[in-house]
Amino acid sequence: RLKALNRLQVILQHLKMSKQTESAAEVLLEKKGGAGIITLNRPKALNALNLPMIQRIYPQIKAWEQDPETFLIIIKGTGGKAFCAGGDIRAITEAGKVGDKLTQDFFRGEYRLNNAIGTCKKPYVALIDGITMGGGVGVSVHGHFRVATEKTVFAMPETAIGLFPDVGGGYFLPRLSGKIGYYLALTGCRLKGRDVLRVGIATHFVESEKLPALEKDLIALKSPSKEKIADLLNSYHVKCTIDQEKEFVLDEHMDKINSLFSANSMEEIVKKLKQDGSPFALKQLEVKSSMS
């Protein structure tokens, strides 16, 4: 019996170590020069955040914030398709089915991380190259600088699964120009490329292939202030002409959006959409109906 117990303890220890190694591989934390670099490393899952990743990132940000030798923090994703597609909804859903407290722990940890990013005293640069949705928005939009590319796809799709636009969406979305934030929140509309900059989610727009060079230049900055970082980002931004002449995808609908999404309740918005009756309004009603 003692041998069996010892064997079980060894197995449990191996499982624990395996889990720790796996979470370590899923998010890479490294220091290069004066820069702390966070790399989301779950490319097969589009770098979706899970609880172990969150639990590793949060204390590291706090440590770098207090470290006098760390001057900025950079966050990026691997795989070429996504920065971060959101939270690991599959794991959260499965946990909820069996009454596991993972869901509670996940959201508490995620929101605490969002707050840490939003209050971080060190300059925080998010390279949002590729899919950036939900939780991915949460670990980028609250930082000082968000660099979008022609591959960026932004959305807050939570209403499609019966949730609200979380990760601070109730704060940053209403602060976008006009009523575009309300529209994005209620419809889950996807924005791509330069349009992510145009609405104010991104602060800069750079070609995807230039990001490695940008990262290298950021790391090379000596004791960088926010102003120096902004100047460097601006120098890359002004050279990028991709989609510069292309109109904002929602430009022709902005008057409708500002009018129809100006009500103070969902019921009033639905009423306005029905009364308007335009093809655009009817399409939004259809979208909302599929989410109800």
Active site positions, annotated: 87, 135, 158, 166
d(CA 42, CA 267): 40
Q: Please, what's the b/e burial string for 231-260 (b: 16 or more CB within 10 A of its CB; e: otherwise)?
A: ebbeebbeebeeeeeeeebbeebeebbeeb
| Enclosing H/E stretch for 38 | strand 35-40
Asked whether the CA dihedral 220, 224, 228, 234 is positive or negative, the reply is positive
Which two three-digit tokens encode residue 70? Answer: 């760390």
CA atoms within 13 A on the CB side of 97: 6
Contact 124, 143 (CB under 8 A): yes
> Of 144, 114, 257, 111, which is closest to residue 191 (Cα–Cα)?
257
SS3 40: strand
SS3 165: coil
CA atoms within 13 A on the CB side of 111: 11
Q: Which residue has the tokens 């670099």?
A: 37
Greatest Cα-to-Cα distance within the chain, rounded to the nearest angstrom: 76
